C-alpha cells in the first residue's frame, strides 16, 4: 500500500500579467482570458533554475512528512525543462537536498502528465520494496520557450510541486493510478528540434526552430477532454466508486475551457473541480502536484475526502490517480 506522507509546492515571486504580455507580443487580456481563462502566471527570477524550484517544493514536502533528506529512499523528477541536458534533474536534486546515494531518475518528455505517471511508477516500485519516494513535478518553461510566439508564450508559467510517498498509514492513501499513451498522436504537440532527428545547430538557432512547439491546439483540446475524463471514469470503475463520492477533481490546468468540458463530461459540479489556471497558467508537470498542495493548504481538501487527479500531455499521454484522504 502507498500513502502520501507530505505535500509541497512552490511558485516564484515574479508575476507576469496578460497586460505585461500585451506589451511584448500582439495579444490582449480579453483574448487570453476568453480563450484560456489565464489572467497571470509566475516566472522564475534570472538567477533561479529548475533545480531551485524543485528543491523548494521537495523541502516543503519532506518537512510536511516529518522526514529528513536521509530518510528518502528514492527520487523521481517529472520535467520537460530540466536543469541540464544531462545528467537528469533528479541527480542534481539528490545532492542539493543531501539525500543518501539512493536511486534517482527523471521522467522527461511526457509533458504535463509526467507527475501522475511518476505516481504510477512509484506505486509499482513500492510493491517490490516498501520505501519512501520523493516525487517532484517541476517546470521552468519561461527560460526555454520563445517569448515572441503569441500562440504559446501566454499559456505557460513556472512552478514546482512535490509529494513524499511511503508505506506508513499516512494522511492520504493512493488507491489507484491509471495511465496510457497514444503514440500515433506525437505530432499534435511536439518540440522536434534538439533531438537526433532534428539536431540543434546553427540553422535551427537562426530560424528559432529550437524553441518552436508544433501544436494543433484544437486537436490537443479535444484529446485532453476525452482522455482526462475517460481516465477518471476508469479510475472510478477500478476502485468501485462513483463520481458522487469524489469530493474534488484536480485536473491538469492548461485551459479553463478544457477543465470546464472535463467537469461537464464527468457530470460533476464546478465547485468540486479545482481551478487555479487563472493565477498560474499551464505549469506542465508541476501543475497537478502544485494544485494538490494548494488545495490542501487552502482547506479545499478535508480528512475523508476522495480526490481524483487527472492529467494529459504531449505523447499523447494521460494518467489519473485516486487518493483517499
Return residues touching ligand COA (CB under 6 A). Answer: 27, 31-32, 35-36, 111-112, 150-151, 154, 189, 215, 217-218, 220-221, 224, 254-255, 282, 313
Residue with Cβ nearer ligand COA (27 or 94): 27
For residue 215, the minimal CB distance to ligand COA (Å) is 6
| Residue number with CB closer to ligand COA (112 or 246) | 112
98 dihedral zone (left: phi>0; alpha: psi -120 to 50; beta):
left
- Give the other-Cβ count within 10 Å of 29's Cβ: 17
CB 77, CB 277: distance < 8 Å: no
Burial category of 102 from C-beta neighbours within 10 Å (exposed 0-12, middle 13-18, buried 19 and up): middle
Task: Characterize the bridge pairing of strands 159-166 and 3-10.
Answer: antiparallel
Select 104 or 145, whichever has its Cβ closest to ligand COA. Answer: 145
DSSP H or E stretch at residue 5: strand 3-10
Question: Residue 49's CB: how many other CB atoms inside 10 A?
Answer: 18
Which three cell numbers mark 319? 494518467
Q: What are phi and psi of 315, to 5 degrees?
A: 160, -60
Catalytically active residues, by annotation? 112, 252, 282
Q: How far is the CB of 43 from ligand COA (least distance, A)?
A: 16
Nearest approach, Cβ of 252 to ligand COA (angstroms)?
A: 7
Query: Which contiguous run of DSSP H or E holds residue 135?
Result: strand 133-139
For the CB of residue 52, give the shortest distance to ligand COA in the complex, in Å: 23
With 0-12 CB in 10 A as exposed, 13-18 as middle and 19+ as buried, what is 9? Answer: buried
Distance CA 319, CA 28 (A): 33
CB of 232 to ligand COA, least distance (A): 17
Shortest distance in whole angstroms from residue 134 CB to ligand COA: 24
Residue 282, strand partner residues: 156
Nearer to ligand COA, 31 or 105 (CB): 31
Contact 277, 254 (CB under 8 A): yes
CB closer to ligand COA, 122 vs 154: 154
Instruction: At 288, list the grid cell.
Output: 497537478
Cell of 82: 530540466
Instruction: Pick the closer one to ligand COA by CB: 2 or 261.
Output: 261
Burial-class residue 207 by CB neighbours within 10 Å (0-12, 13-18, 19+). exposed
Name the closest residue to ligand COA (Cβ): 217
Amino acid at each position: 500500500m502507498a500513502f502520501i506522507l507530505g505535500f509541497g509546492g512552490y511558485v516564484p515571486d515574479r508575476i507576469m500579467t496578460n497586460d505585461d504580455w500585451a506589451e511584448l507580443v500582439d495579444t490582449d487580456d480579453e483574448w487570453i482570458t476568453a480563450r484560456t481563462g489565464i489572467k497571470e502566471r509566475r516566472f522564475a527570477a534570472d538567477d533561479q533554475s529548475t533545480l531551485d524550484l524543485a528543491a523548494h517544493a521537495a523541502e516543503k514536502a519532506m518537512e510536511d512528512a516529518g522526514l529528513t533528506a536521509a530518510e528518502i529512499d528514492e527520487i523521481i523528477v517529472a520535467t520537460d525543462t530540466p536543469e541540464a541536458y544531462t545528467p537528469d534533474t533528479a541527480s542534481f536534486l539528490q545532492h542539493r537536498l543531501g539525500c543518501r546515494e539512493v536511486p534517482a531518475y527523471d521522467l522527461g518528455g511526457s509533458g504535463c502528465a509526467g507527475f501522475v505517471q511518476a505516481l504510477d511508477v512509484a506505486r509499482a516500485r513500492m510493491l517490490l520494496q516498501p520505501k519512501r519516494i520523493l516525487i517532484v513535478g517541476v517546470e521552468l518553461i519561461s527560460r526555454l520557450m520563445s517569448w515572441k510566439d503569441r500562440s504559446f508564450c501566454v499559456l505557460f508559467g513556472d512552478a514546482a510541486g512535490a509529494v513524499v510517498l511511503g508505506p506508513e498509514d499516512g494522511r492520504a492513501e493512493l488507491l489507484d493510478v491509471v495511465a496510457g499513451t497514444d503514440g500515433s498522436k506525437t505530432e499534435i504537440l511536439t518540440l522536434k528540434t534538439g533531438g537526433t532527428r532534428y539536431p540543434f545547430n546553427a540553422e535551427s538557432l537562426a530560424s528559432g526552430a529550437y524553441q518552436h512547439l508544433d501544436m494543433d491546439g484544437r486537436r490537443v483540446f479535444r484529446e485532453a477532454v476525452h482522455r482526462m475524463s475517460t481516465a477518471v471514469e476508469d479510475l472510478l470503475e477500478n476502485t468501485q466508486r462513483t463520481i458522487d463520492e469524489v469530493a474534488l477533481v484536480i485536473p491538469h490546468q492548461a485551459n479553463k475551457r478544457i477543465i470546464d468540458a472535463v467537469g461537464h463530461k464527468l457530470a460533476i459540479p464546478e465547485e468540486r473541480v479545482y481551478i487555479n489556471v487563472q493565477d498560474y497558467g499551464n505549469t506542465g508537470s508541476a501543475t497537478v502536484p502544485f494544485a494538490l498542495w494548494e488545495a490542501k493548504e487552502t482547506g479545499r481538501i478535508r480528512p475523508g475526502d476522495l480526490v481524483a487527479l487527472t492529467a494529459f500531455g504531449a505523447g499523447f499521454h494521460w494518467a489519473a490517480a485516486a487518493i483517499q484522504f
